[in-house]
Structure 1
Amino acid sequence: MPKIYVLHENNEWTDHLKLRLDELNLPYELWHLDQGMIDLSIEPPEGVFYNRISASSHTRDHRYAPEYTEAVLAWIERHGRTVINGTRALRLEVSKVNQYMALENAGIATPKTLVAVGKKNIIEAAKALGQESFITKHNRAGKGQGVQLFHSISALEDYVESPNFDPPVDGITLIQQYIKAPEPYIIRHEFIGGKFLYGVKVDTSEGFELCPADACSIDDMFCPTADSDRQVKAKFEILENYHPDFIDRYESFLQDNNILVAGIEAISDGDGNVYAYDVNTNTNYNSDAETKVQRFAMLELAKYLEKQLAEHR
């Protein structure tokens, strides 16, 4: 019997989807791809395969989950199975450079970015950027890992040569134009089935760690989302009647790159220019924000997977 197969490496980020799949009484199986084995000479099972592997897997000691998942996806795709967020989506998930090139190719503006490998070249890239304030981030990251704001080259030099320097897992550091927003927030645009679902206003006043998953607020030191002080002002707020003109371009970008489920984060500068700076194909949702407006993305995702399974059958 065909099933929905969820490819992942983080149980906590999969719990909410499991609840919705159970609610709809759908047949499914979880494949935890931190490690494993596949026989390329046999066929994969019949069903719909949904990839939820995250670029931040290495922060959970799942260093090779993306590489192993790409092997599994290549095997599944070779046999023509229905795949949600296949190898192309995974390659964009684990490389912001790939993201930016694909976004720019679709006519979507991204912040000016330089790529550097090696501490000396990080400093040289910051000098070449030629801006008083700039951001560094990891090419393969997630959860805001490696994102830091600097206001001088000397501050960057001190950091790079200090014991606190956090080297990126793939060796690639991005030095990026700092977009100063008129107000401290970004908007995360959520898509299911390649279609826009809603926009989430995310408060950035306390930093760049923007993971909306409920699990992040429990035991993930890199990814806070809520605490007692934040209940006064919600960090995540779903925007009602929000549908900017550029959404069509975002949907075209997703279609061109075979991405069906994603969150695209964007920021506006003081002149109203909008820059996309992150594509998250392992997107998560914040339950407090959804409860407030009674819109539930995991339920919509489960319904979408149900439709895909029906079409597969």
Structure 2
Amino acid sequence: MSGSVYVIHENPQWLPPFQAAFEAEGVPLEEWLLTDGSIDLSVEPPEGVFWSRLSASAHTRDHAASKEYGRAVLRWLASWGRTVVNGADVLELEVSKVAQHAALRHAGVEVPRTTAVFGTAQLAAKAEEFEAPFISKHNQGGKGLGVRRWESHAEFAAWVDSADFEPSPDGITLLQELLVARAPFITRAEFVGGQFVYAVRVDTSAGSFELCPAEACAIPGADGVEPEPLFRLRDDVDPAIIDRYLAFLAAEGIGVAGIEFIETRDGRVVTYDVNTNTNYNPDVEASAPRSGPREIARWLGALLPHEAVGARG
């Protein structure tokens, strides 16, 4: 029996590093672009391994329907017994921070104090329950979009009532305690196939919440020269944290993910995001002992029938 690895996604700009990695590993890769199309539910899918890279930020690329398209495709694939990596249940975690929060807390991982508000009628009142400054964010986010810091409740209430208010795509706004880092960085730990790959130190000294690591997200400096890298390899993460994340990923059936946490000024280690369509920063990849995309290619290739995988370089 033969087959390919099918990558299910909606953003071709993120794919080149993975295409190069699969080619280098001799693993056949085919795209399923879920921006529009159809499914004949009575037809059996092709043989192979199906890897979902569907993103919570698809709506920012005019692909809001990809979430529902993906839900349908992933359930269809599972119904035929196909091997699906980061399948339908994992997609629900990708597109809902409420779901992430609940799953992490259930696994014994510390998460920020958070209130989910449905609609806008209670937003200002619920914000009063948080000491200022505090954070608001979209339940369906991605790339840090929609995250705002508020210095006062009055400022937040005025924004909610204004034409500038930006709702989450699913209508759920999260109110969250402001986490103050012990040092100006957060950490993102990368995992593939039940294995820890590496951790990344992400500089937050500029105060931005938009921390997409992909080369496609890079923004040049004001003078046109690339700034110093915001993303650097980190090799001193507590192994107990990594073990806790590995147990969480196994329990939730997550094959590929980046998990972000912050070490706070008051001594807490707080996890605030699980990204199941993780991208890899080229500066980190250049210095890392193992490559994230190459690890994915090797792992998914090993899930294919042996004759589907060619010679590896």
Alignment partner, residue 292 of structure 2: 297
Distance 1:61 1:312, change over 3 A: farther
Q: Which amino acid aligns with 2:125?
A: E
Query: In terms of mean alpha carbon deviation, does 54-63 or 15-24 score higher?
Result: 15-24
Indicate yes or no: 2:172 matched with 1:172. Answer: yes
CA drift of 1:296 comes to: 1.7
Q: Is the 8 A contact 2:198 2:288 kept in 1?
A: no
Q: Give 2:200's aligned residue.
A: 200
How far apart are 1:199 and its partner, in Å? 0.8
In structure 1, the residue matched to 2:230 is: 235
Q: CA deviation at 1:162?
A: 2.8
Quote the sequence identity (%): 46
- Once the two structures are TM-superposed, the CA of residue 36 in structure 1 deviates from its matched residue by 1.2
Give the 3 Å change call, closer, same or farther, for CA 37–179 of structure 1 in structure 2: same
5 Å-filtered alignment, 1:96-245, equals: 96-129=97-130, 131-206=131-206, 207-217=208-218, 224=219, 227=221, 233-245=228-240
Normalising to structure 2: TM-score of the pair?
Answer: 0.93
Q: CA deviation at 1:286?
A: 0.3
Is 1:82–1:312's contact at 8 Å kept on the other side of the alignment? no
> How far is 1:228 from its partner?
6.6
Moved more, 298-307 or 94-103: 298-307
Q: Check conservation: 2:8, 2:34, Cα contact below 8 A.
A: yes
Q: Deviations over 1:145-187 (max 9, x none)?
A: 1100111101112222233221111000000011111222110
Cα deviation, residue 98, structure 1? 0.3
Measure, in 2, the Cα distance between the counterparts of 1:193 and 1:141.
25
Q: Is the partner of 1:238 in helix, strand or coil?
A: strand
Number of corresponding residues? 305
Residue 220 of structure 1 corresponds to none
Between the aligned partners of 2:182 and 2:146, the Cα distance in structure 1 is: 24
Kept after mapping to 2: 8 A contact 1:55/1:140: yes
- Mapped to 1, the partners of 2:288 and 2:241 lie a distance apart of 23
For structure 2, list consecutive stretches of 5 or more residues without a partner in the other structure.
309-313
- RMSD over equivalenced CA pairs, Å: 1.7
Determine the C-alpha separation between the residues in 2 that align with 1:237 and 1:21: 24
Residue aligned with 1:137, SS: strand
Q: State the partner residue of 2:85.
A: 84
Instruction: Give TM-score scaled by structure 1 length.
Output: 0.93
Partner of 2:276: 281
